[in-house]
Structure 1
Amino acid sequence: MLIFASYDNILHAFARNKEVVHTYEGHKARIHLLQPFGDHVISVDVHNVLIVWNIQSEEEYLQIDFDKATFAVSALLHPSTYLNKILLGSEQGTLQLWNIRSNKLLYSFPGWGLAVTTLEQAPAVDVVAVGLVSGHIIVHNIKFDETLMKFQQDWGPITAISFRTDGHPVMAAGSPVGHIALWDLEEKKLMCQMQDAHSTAIAGMTFVPGEPLLITNGADNALRVWIFDGPGGTGRVLRSRMGHSAPPTKIRYHGQNGEQILSAGQDGTLQSFSTVHEKFNKSLGRGSINKKKSKKKGLKLDTMALPPITAFASEVAHQSDWDGIVACHQGYITCTTWNYQKTSMGAHKLRPEEFSKHKPIDIYATAVDITSCGNFAVIGMSTGQVDVYNMQSGIHRGHYGKETAHEGAIRGVAVDGLNQLVITAGSEGLIKFWKFKMKDLVYSTELSSSPSGILLHRDSGILGIAFDDFTISVLDLETRKIVRTFSGHHGRINDMTFSPDGRWLITSSMDCSIKTWDLPSGCLIDCFLVDSAAVSLTMSPTGDFLASAHVDDLGIYLWANRSLYSLVSLRPLPADYEPSLVTLPSTCPMQDVDVSGDEEPCDEMIEYVSPDQLGEQLVTLSLLPESRWKNLLNLDIIKKKNKPREPPKVPKSAPFFIPTLPGLIPRYIPPEEENDTQSKVVNLGILAQKSDFCIHLEEALSTNEYKAPLDLLKSLGPSHIEVELRGLAPEGGGSMEVMLSFLRMIGMMLNKKYNFELAQAYLALFLKLHLKVLSSEPKLLEELSTLSMQLEETWIHLQALFNQSLCVLTYMKSALL
């Protein structure tokens, strides 16, 4: 039900592989031995203290302190059928059998004068296998204190022992060099060897009960399942989960689906890790000068192994036809090709023709790139030479420059997306552009400092350049100019990566910081610190993950792009911004954690509300469609055109419709009461009723607040607006005060300079309808003259702005042509 794991001096119990249900604290030193024991668990630390814990209550049941000089506990075992008893092995060679319920030493075994490294229960009762530091394995009967059989391995101390329980009397033993020996217990002899099962010491091994399966693990960061189904009794790998046994140095996404990450490590291997599931991981193996000789010699004696990969490039185009990965190795002149689909090293070794017979020590490949079509590889050397090779045949296709492309070592090479240009960077501080096919020099520019590396974003044609003075520049391939320069790192730039759209440049440095630069604005928009510096970065082609590899760390860490699933403010960080230390991502699932609670409020996106008026000198138009105001002066013409030639005929049986009032907002007519006798008396009060617009204008005359009548007018259609403006005159049921209020409303709109086109349309229709009345009233004429001055002043200012803009546009067009 539980899994026990210790970290330093603390012991944890896990349930369902993810939830810590118990924590046991009491040891003063690091725990190095564990033994589950029914309702209890036993732990031993390096200070020789043994504690028996009650699993449920987390309390100490028993504590035993051993004298390190006489009995230093080095192995722990519960013999089968031995109730309440444990067997302890020591570095002095003696063994002790204890009853932990009564806390009594039952028996002491004299041992064999050599330190005990491991104890393992045999399938037979009372029989225990004892592994010694000398490489001896003692199969001992602890009931009668008799040795049944004795074996010896020549590979050093015994690190692990396990017995097969599927009917074959076989014992497996591990060694510090990674070999596994299989012993036949009936014949009492060595049956076979499994050499180089791991590249480091075998840390643990267990046969699956009743199955011919052996599970092993080691310090090489590998977990393997071996199946014994072949002749001779040897095992073959059935399944494996493995990572790098030494920290990765270079990682890059492979392909465009964002699901595979290629990783080159200091252990000399090239591996592919899947971001979907671990079952898709695969290892492309170690680089070797001669694969056949390497397999014969084995991992330990392999003199043909190539040094670790320092740089590589990959393309998926034509990877099913020939090799799609090219890599250069540390201090080695030859570049190797790799096949992703065959998961192995490729067929070709790429090196200049003049070095085909001898390989100089002081000349080596420094940079590599592969074309987007997958046909050619461009390799830069430490001498400044840049060569082109065919990936299908491995044939040398020429080099750039007369002898060398640069005077100094090549720090980076890149090929554009259309195979037109090759960009090379030299340590002397020059960036050169070459024609890819003709090998001619197109352009050369001198940099401010010596570059340490370059990175090209092919889709947008921008080149990131990292310098030795810890600055970063961005060069545009079209104009061949430096368009952005960033400074802020305080250590060597380790790696760079672009976002898929080319808007962000993400950099990592030896100052343990990872920074995100926004290229359009030229600002730093994100920065955080990590415990160990990131040596390599790569951004997913789909933009969902950023992967990082760190100093002295075997893992590859994935960072989620928060801008894909939450609102993130991309404002520039202030100059005095102090980055916070972020813990590296882990596989532990987060439960009931409010992510937004940990974020600073400044990181949240603040919704921008546009003001009604941007400035006092600017004119703002309304957001109404043109159909609501543009045709107000032409309504009579439109009505004449739309007038039907024949009067509409009443249908014989009209369908039932709820009658509505005219207007943009539908309002239903209240049902009339049916009376048998219709009254012929006309109700004059109903005819004299004023509209809402007139009432609002009368109120605004005293309060000077014209928002209500203007909003009402903006909600009406053109025909309704004409009816409302006709009704402002005295003969239409209005008054001079209402007309004066309307003119003041137009004056307010012109004064505040908003709804400018509505003010023009409403005033034009008002003048067209009531010009005779306006000319006969002195108060209205005075208001009209004030309006005329306002209108003329605003229009002159607006016309000056129009003319200035048109002049600038004409000049720009002529300059471009």
Structure 2
Amino acid sequence: AESFMVRSVIFSGFRALGLYSNHLAHVLRFHKKHREFYVLTAVGQCFHTYNVKKLGIVAVSNALPEDISSLAADRMLVYAAFGKLISAFAKNKEVVHTYTGHQADVHLLLPFGDHLISVDKDNVVIIWDVESEDTYLQISYDKASFEVSALMHPSTYLNKILFGSSQGSLQLWNIKSNKLLFTFPGWASAVTVLQQTPAVDVVGVGLASGQIIIHNIRFDETLMKFQQDWGPVTALSFRTDGHPIMASGSPIGHIGLWDLEEKKFVTQMRNAHTTAIAGLTFLQNEPLLITNGADNAIRVWIFDVAGGDGRLLRQRTGHSAPPTKIQHHDQSSLNILSAGQDGTLQSFSTVHERFNKSLGHGTLNKTRAKKKGVRNDTAKLPAITTFASETARQSDWDGIIACHRGFLVTTTWNYQRGSIGAHKLEPERFNKNRSLNAVDITSCGNFAVIALSSGHIDVYNMQSGFHRGHYGKDKAHAGAVRGLSVDALNQLTVSVGADRLLKIWRFRSKELLHTHSLPAAPASSLLHRDSGMLAIALDDFTIHILDMETRRTVRRFSGHRGQINDMTFSPDGRWLITASMDCTIRTWDLPSGSLVDCFLVDAAAVSLSMSPTGNFLASSHVDGLGIYLWSNNTLCSLVSLRPLPADYEPTVIMLPGTCPSRENSGLSAPFFIPTIPGLVPQFALPSTPSEDQSKIVNLGVLAQKSTFYLQLENALDSNSYEEPVKLLRELGPSAIETELRALSPDMGGDVRVMQSFLKMISSILQSKRDFDLAQAYLALFLKLHLRFIADQPELMEEAESVSAHLEETWMSMQMLLNQNICLLSYIKSALL
């Protein structure tokens, strides 16, 4: 049990998808050498760097121990505050400085030449020397009279910083001489934003009252005032491309545009974000505005119409509310469909963000939604609770069907067009107090099966949207239907209901074939179509596995201590992976009937999906906006899976970040590190060269014999082949081929060692174990060396001996197989 306490044996964190921005304002940088702008956004414990040109991700920083609370940057470094500490990053990735000294959480940062200014929640201001990490100056304000809420460096003002307060007043300080130069009484409202205007001495001041003040700080003179009607000012920015326009951000996602020459409101950009505008910045001398918000979106707007508002040029968006259901869309494992509490259905690519796409928000009237916009669409649908997708006919008609929270209408969606589909499937025989609980699409893509909370199950044609019948005389179950699946050949439909019954129906005739009682009410069910195994999660936190062919429960799993949120099978049907509200993700091995892997996460997983290729497990979590990928370690390394003890206590594993972790990146050591000769890579220990050491290369080193080769040589004398067989079993296909090629004299081998290999095959056959493995080794050996063996009498003699053993072993194998086939046929006929 101790070996399992370190981490998950099967899964390790790979990366997160769909995370772009949070509530912190973005930071804009200009790279002089690249002649390009970059935008930085905070995402949890790290920050992302995107180029503005394409909004392509350029870098992801190393993760900090806590979530970033403030972000800033100068020409060389990026500064991120977390808790009471501040870290400086070089090259957008690695921490090069850490500043320690605050006694409370830091919430404001301002780079200032060779110094960094930081403010914490206790109202302490510290000015740091960036290189030495020493405190240059510390200022403590009385929180009751002047609580620092904003700060800026006025352009051309040497060594001077302007502080704004929650009380409304402003102070101008010379931080070199540590003197308060001037106090501005303010405008009877808390200062939320301080921003330099394109004019020297003039500052834009945003207030909590929604007022925007354009103030000359040299003469203490207000030049103009504007009033924003949408609440406090969250951000300010000024165009510098020849148009005297100011943009202001609001808490409800609207942006106001103001003309500074005519001193009037120009226009509004409504619903630029679905949450508060966290940051907005006009690019220097360009008609581009960059915005970000807590709705997990970065957007670039272009002002290419004189006097008009900005139009969306490009964006990176994820879910603005946590995903409720995720599922791999096709067999390529490259795309993950995700339905979120924000009402949208999105597709995230596991390869690159440019392949992401949003299928939009559910609506009853697509045409009206296009005209009015999603926010103003009165016919928009609630969030999707569950969906099913099938790619077989997605080029011909809609291939996705979705249920909405508390809603009777089922919607279809078209993946290729990236939009809501043609049909709204609504049973006409019910009143509106019903809701949809489960859906499935047949493997052929022609039919959708829909289950309701009333116990009814209906079938619809996906192409026409027409009703094609229902199960049961009136209803299929006495209570709500909790799970629904159709088998791979459209022969059977299986449903589980709150009435504690599992029912198997004939798909076409709707005839009830079998009823099975469950020990508790089911929460959900999942069918693995290839193997015919049905997993049923019950309300008592146990899982039952039913074989659809024999219609019997073949496995029972217990161990979860909370509601089971989701389940997914591995592609081969060997594993069932489950997620529960107890914050564990467990892997159950069906052949052995045991728990083989378990790990804890900080936030419970609400949905799981194993990729069809088996390389990744995808998960979404409570209150998390991203989708997290876990790599399957068994595909790239030898993993020994053993049943976990009943009292096993899993350890917490951190959710993966937005870039692959270094330990799973697949990178080997640098090429210049010397290695020890052999097929298994081993690095040589550094040694100090002596003065008289020869510089002549010893070519004999290149012809070193591998461990497998030496073991075959020794086995000729001892006649014991356990060690070489054990070693060969641990090697991968390419390594095995390399070893067998090396046995030939042309590759530095020997006829005697080849003879020893054939003896090894005979010993495996005589042991009456690993028959198929011996066949595979022998087939490859003959393929590589057949002509050479035919010319060597001793090898031909040994090959004839192997052939005799092979014939004898196959006869006994065939007899055993025939006996089993007869026995199975007898049992099957008896059951029928």
Partner of 1:360: 432
Is the 1:462–1:476 Cα contact (8 Å) retained in structure 2?
yes
1:730-777 Cα offsets, whole Å, 9 max, x none, are xxxxxxxxxxxxxxxxxxxxxxxxx9x99xx9xxxxxxxxxxxxxxxx
Q: 1:82 to 1:801 in 2, by over 3 A?
A: closer
1:597-627 Cα offsets, whole Å, 9 max, x none, are xxxxxxxxxx9xxxxxxxxxxxx9999xxxx
Q: 1:278 to 1:483 in 2, by over 3 A?
A: same
Q: How does 1:411-426 map to 2 (within 5 A)?
A: 411-426=482-497
Letter matched to residue 406 of structure 2: G
Is the 2:119–2:125 Cα contact (8 Å) retained in structure 1?
yes
1:564-589 Cα offsets, whole Å, 9 max, x none, are 11110022223333222211111355
2:541 to 470, 479, 493: 470
The structural deviation recorded for 1:590 is 4.1
2:532 to 445, 448, 461: 461
Partner of 1:278: 353
The structural deviation recorded for 1:304 is 2.9
1:482-540 Cα offsets, whole Å, 9 max, x none, are 11111111111110000111111000111111111111111111111111111110001
Q: 1:384 to 1:592 in 2, by over 3 A?
A: closer
Letter matched to residue 144 of structure 1: F
Partner of 1:181: 256
Partner of 1:391: 462
Partner of 2:405: 330
Partner of 1:105: 180
Is the 2:361–2:374 Cα contact (8 Å) retained in structure 1?
no
Is the 1:196–1:298 Cα contact (8 Å) retained in structure 2?
no
Partners of 2:248 and 2:812 lie apart in 1 by: 94
Partner of 1:382: 453
Partners of 1:445 and 1:438 lie apart in 2 by: 20
The structural deviation recorded for 1:459 is 1.7
1:336-363 Cα offsets, whole Å, 9 max, x none, are 11222222222221110224xxx523x1
The structural deviation recorded for 1:305 is 2.8
1:289 to 364, 369, 372: 364
Partner of 1:167: 242
1:51 to 108, 122, 126: 126
Is the 1:664–1:716 Cα contact (8 Å) retained in structure 2?
no
2:604 aligned with 1:533: yes
Partners of 2:179 and 2:393 lie apart in 1 by: 72
Q: 1:267 to 1:111 in 2, by over 3 A?
A: same
Q: 1:811 to 1:550 in 2, by over 3 A?
A: closer
The structural deviation recorded for 1:816 is 6.3
Is the 2:482–2:524 Cα contact (8 Å) retained in structure 1?
yes
Partner of 1:450: 521
Partner of 2:337: 262
Q: 1:214 to 1:487 in 2, by over 3 A?
A: same
2:279 to 169, 184, 204: 204
Q: Which runs of 5+ in 1 are unaligned?
A: 597-606, 608-619, 624-662, 668-714, 722-754, 762-798
2:583 aligned with 1:508: no
Higher mean alpha-carbon deviation, 472-481 vs 81-90, is at 472-481
Partners of 2:817 and 2:462 lie apart in 1 by: 56
Letter matched to residue 432 of structure 2: P
Partners of 1:548 and 1:809 lie apart in 2 by: 42
Letter matched to residue 489 of structure 2: L
The structural deviation recorded for 1:807 is 7.7
**What SS does the corresponding residue of 1:279 show, helix, strand or coil?**
helix
Q: 1:810 to 1:288 in 2, by over 3 A?
A: closer
Partners of 2:222 and 2:722 lie apart in 1 by: 101
Partner of 1:222: 297
Partner of 1:83: 158
Partners of 2:562 and 2:645 lie apart in 1 by: 21
Letter matched to residue 442 of structure 2: T
1:348-381 Cα offsets, whole Å, 9 max, x none, are 21110224xxx523x1011111112222211100
The structural deviation recorded for 1:476 is 1.5
Among the aligned pairs, what percent are the same residue?
Answer: 65
Partners of 1:443 and 1:42 lie apart in 2 by: 73
Q: Which runs of 5+ in 2 are unaligned?
A: 1-75, 668-706, 708-719, 724-749, 755-791
Letter matched to residue 382 of structure 2: P
Partner of 1:745: none
1:26 to 85, 98, 101: 101
Is the 1:196–1:299 Cα contact (8 Å) retained in structure 2?
no
**What SS does the corresponding residue of 2:429 show, helix, strand or coil?**
helix
Is the 1:337–1:349 Cα contact (8 Å) retained in structure 2?
yes
Partners of 1:257 and 1:299 lie apart in 2 by: 32
**What SS does the corresponding residue of 2:354 show, helix, strand or coil?**
helix
Partners of 1:255 and 1:508 lie apart in 2 by: 22
Partners of 2:820 and 2:753 lie apart in 1 by: 48
Partners of 1:243 and 1:149 lie apart in 2 by: 39
| Higher Cα Rg, which structure | 1
Partner of 1:340: 415
Q: How does 1:571-582 map to 2 (within 5 A)?
A: 571-582=642-653
Partners of 1:223 and 1:134 lie apart in 2 by: 26
The structural deviation recorded for 1:719 is 11
Q: 1:28 to 1:403 in 2, by over 3 A?
A: same
Partners of 2:363 and 2:560 lie apart in 1 by: 38
Letter matched to residue 551 of structure 1: V
| Superposition TM-score, scaled by structure 2 size | 0.72
Letter matched to residue 308 of structure 1: A
Partners of 1:293 and 1:572 lie apart in 2 by: 57
Higher mean alpha-carbon deviation, 3-12 vs 130-139, is at 3-12
The structural deviation recorded for 1:288 is 2.2
2:565 aligned with 1:490: no
Partners of 1:803 and 1:388 lie apart in 2 by: 49
Q: How does 1:603-614 map to 2 (within 5 A)?
A: none
Partner of 2:232: 157
Q: 1:718 to 1:364 in 2, by over 3 A?
A: closer
Letter matched to residue 195 of structure 1: R
Partners of 1:344 and 1:807 lie apart in 2 by: 57
Is the 1:18–1:588 Cα contact (8 Å) retained in structure 2?
no
Q: 1:664 to 1:720 in 2, by over 3 A?
A: farther
Q: 1:55 to 1:213 in 2, by over 3 A?
A: same
Partners of 1:451 and 1:83 lie apart in 2 by: 71
**What SS does the corresponding residue of 1:563 show, helix, strand or coil?**
helix
Partners of 2:124 and 2:570 lie apart in 1 by: 54
Partner of 2:440: 369
**What SS does the corresponding residue of 1:353 show, helix, strand or coil?**
coil
Question: Across the two proteins, how many residue pairs are aligned to each other?
Answer: 636
CA RMSD of superposed structures (Å)? 3.3
Letter matched to residue 645 of structure 2: P
Partners of 1:182 and 1:815 lie apart in 2 by: 81
**What SS does the corresponding residue of 1:43 show, helix, strand or coil?**
strand
| Superposition TM-score, scaled by structure 1 size | 0.73
